[in-house]
Amino acid sequence: MHLKQSILISVFVALVSVFLAFVGDEKGIHPIKPVAIPPSPQREGDPAKGYDYLTTGDYLKSGIPYSYYTVFAKKDRNNYLNRTGKNATVPYDFNVVQSPNKVDVVVPTCLQCHGQVFDGKLVVGLGNTFQDFSNIAKANNPVSDIGTAIMQTFSPRQYKAALPLFTSFDAILQDMQTEVRGVNSADRLATLLVAHRNPQTLEWQSKPILDIPKGVIPTDVPAWWLLKKKNAMFYNGFGRGDFGKFLMLSNILTVKDSSEAREVNSHFGDVLAFIKSINPPKYPKETDGVLAEEGEEVFVNNCSKCHGTYGTKGYYPNLLIPASIIQTDSLLYKGNQQNPQFIAWFNNSWFATGDHPAKLVPYDGYIAPPLDGIWITAPYLHNGSVPTLRALLNSKERPTYWKRNFTKPSYDYEKVGWAYEPTDKPKRRTVYNTTLPGYNNGGHTFGDKLTEQERRAVIEYLKTL
C-alpha cells in the first residue's frame, strides 16, 4: 500500500473514532466505553438545619388535616426521630406542618422512600423496599371514593389546605402501580407530575401537557450516603448540575407556583449538606479479617476499575458503564430517562434556570455505584431484582422467581441480603418475577469467573465497606 493511502486511511479511522467517541459521550447514543462523569458546582449548607427541615419542614404544604388524621390513623408510639409536639404523634415518614392558610396538615416526607426500619432501628437514608407500590391503586381507592366523601365534611379552610394533595393523588395513584412488592415507582411519579405542570410557572394543568408513556418502570432506591461521592444523580447518572434542585423535586407533588418553589429551594443547600453528612451503618456481626483482606485483593483486581477503592485513601472513578458492557435490564435507561418530552420539559423548566441550574443528560447505561454500606442495601441492581450479594456475584444462583417475608423480615448475614425463597412460578405481587419487562435480573456477570474461595473472600470484604 502506498504511504499516502495508508496515512489517509489512518486519518479516516482516527476521525471515525473521534466521531464515535463524541456521539457516545455527548448524546449518550450507543456508547462503547465507560464515560467519566465530570463534577458540577454544588451548594454549601448546614447539615443540622437540613436535617430539621427534612424531618419537620414544609417542603410539601398541602396534606390531610391533622384533626382528621388523628381520628383515622393510630397514634404512632415509636417516635423513631425523637420529635416533639404533633410530629411526635405521626410516623417518621410524615411531617405535621402548617398550610399557607394556617391549617395543621399531615404531609408525606422523603423518608417514605428514603428511610427504613432495620432490626428495630430507623436507618435514615436507607432505601425503603417495604413500601408497597404494587397495591397503591387499590389501597388508595378511598382517595377518590370514600376520600371524596370525607372531603365533603372538611371545613372550607381544611378543604383548601388538602385540595392540592388530593388533586395530585387523583391524577397519579391509579397509574403508578408496580407489578410486585419491593420496588419503587418514584420515576413514574415524576413523569406523571411533570405532565401536569407548566415548566416555568410550575402551576397545575388539569389536562396533561405531555404524552404519558405506557408502563411503570420499577426501581430500587439508592442509599443517601452514596451521594457525597457521586458527580451525577440517579441510576443512569442523568441528574447533572445542582443536586439541590433534584432533591426538592418532590415539592411538585403539591407546589402552588414557582414562587413557592423558590422558597423551598432556599433550604436545599442545607438538605444536601445533611445528606452528605450521612455515613453508612456498620455490618453488625463479626467478620473474618484474613478472608476480607484476601477479598480486598480480588476486589482491587476485578472490581475497582468501576467501583473504586475504599478506606482512607479511597478513590471513586464516577463512571457510567455502557449498556453493551453492563447488560442489566435496559428498560430504565431507555424509558423516562430518554423520553424526549420529559427531558425537554426539565431542561427548559424553572429547575434548569436561576443561580443553581440543574439539567438532565441521558445515557445508554448505568453508573457504577459506590459500594459503601452495600451489606444493608439489598436487594441489588437498579431494579432490586437480585436478593443477595452471593446471587449477584454468581449469576447462576440468581432466582427467576423469589419471595421474601415482608411482615416478618429476615436478613441473611452470610449470603448478605434478604432471606428469600425461590418459587417455581410467579404469583402476582408477592413473588418477584424477573421475566417481566423491567424486572430482569441478567447482566453484571463479573463475579461469575471468580473461584468459590474468591467469591467468599470478596463478600467478606464487601461486608466491611
Residues binding ligand HEC (CB under 6 A): 59, 110, 112-114, 184, 186-187, 189, 219, 221-222, 224, 226-227, 230, 233-235, 247, 250, 271, 275, 302-303, 305-307, 321, 325-326, 328, 366, 368-369, 371, 374, 377, 380-382, 389, 392-393, 444, 446-447, 458
- Smallest distance, ligand HEC to C-beta of residue 217, A: 8
Label residue 227 exposed, middle or buried (CB < 10 Å: 0-12, 13-18, 19+): middle
Name the residue nearer to ligand HEC (CB basis): 110 or 150.
Answer: 110
Closest by Cα among 109, 192, 203, 208 to 164: 203
Name the residue nearer to ligand HEC (CB basis): 96 or 247.
Answer: 247
What's the rounded Cα separation, in Å, for the pair 141 and 131? 17
What's the rounded Cα separation, in Å, for the pair 401 and 334? 24
Name the residue nearer to ligand HEC (CB basis): 150 or 240.
Answer: 240
Name the residue nearer to ligand HEC (CB basis): 80 or 234.
Answer: 234
Name the residue nearer to ligand HEC (CB basis): 13 or 139.
Answer: 139
Name the residue nearer to ligand HEC (CB basis): 199 or 322.
Answer: 322
One-letter identity of residue 21: A
Name the residue nearer to ligand HEC (CB basis): 210 or 364.
Answer: 364
- Smallest distance, ligand HEC to C-beta of residue 331, A: 11
Closest by Cα among 40, 24, 108 to 69: 108
- Smallest distance, ligand HEC to C-beta of residue 149, A: 26
Name the residue nearer to ligand HEC (CB basis): 136 or 431.
Answer: 136
Torsion sign (Cα): 27, 31, 37, 42: positive
- Smallest distance, ligand HEC to C-beta of residue 301, A: 9
- Smallest distance, ligand HEC to C-beta of residue 363, A: 11
Residue with cell 395530585: 168
Cis omega (within 30 of 0) for bond into 379: yes
One-letter identity of residue 206: S
Is the distance from CB of 244 to CB of 271 less than 8 angstroms? yes
Is the distance from CB of 415 to CB of 285 less than 8 angstroms? no
- Smallest distance, ligand HEC to C-beta of residue 172, A: 10
What's the rounded Cα separation, in Å, for the pair 235 and 219? 9
Closest by Cα among 168, 190, 187, 191 to 256: 168
CA angle 108, 258, 236 (to 5 degrees): 65
Residues with Cβ < 8 Å from 458, sequence gap 6 or more?
295, 298, 299, 302, 303, 393, 447, 450
- Smallest distance, ligand HEC to C-beta of residue 394, A: 10
- Smallest distance, ligand HEC to C-beta of residue 222, A: 4
- Smallest distance, ligand HEC to C-beta of residue 442, A: 10
What's the rounded Cα separation, in Å, for the pair 39 and 95? 33
What's the rounded Cα separation, in Å, for the pair 238 and 343? 10
Name the residue nearer to ligand HEC (CB basis): 99 or 129.
Answer: 129
What is the per-residue burial (b if ≥16 Cβ within 10 Å, else e) of 251-269? bbbbbeebebbeebbebbb
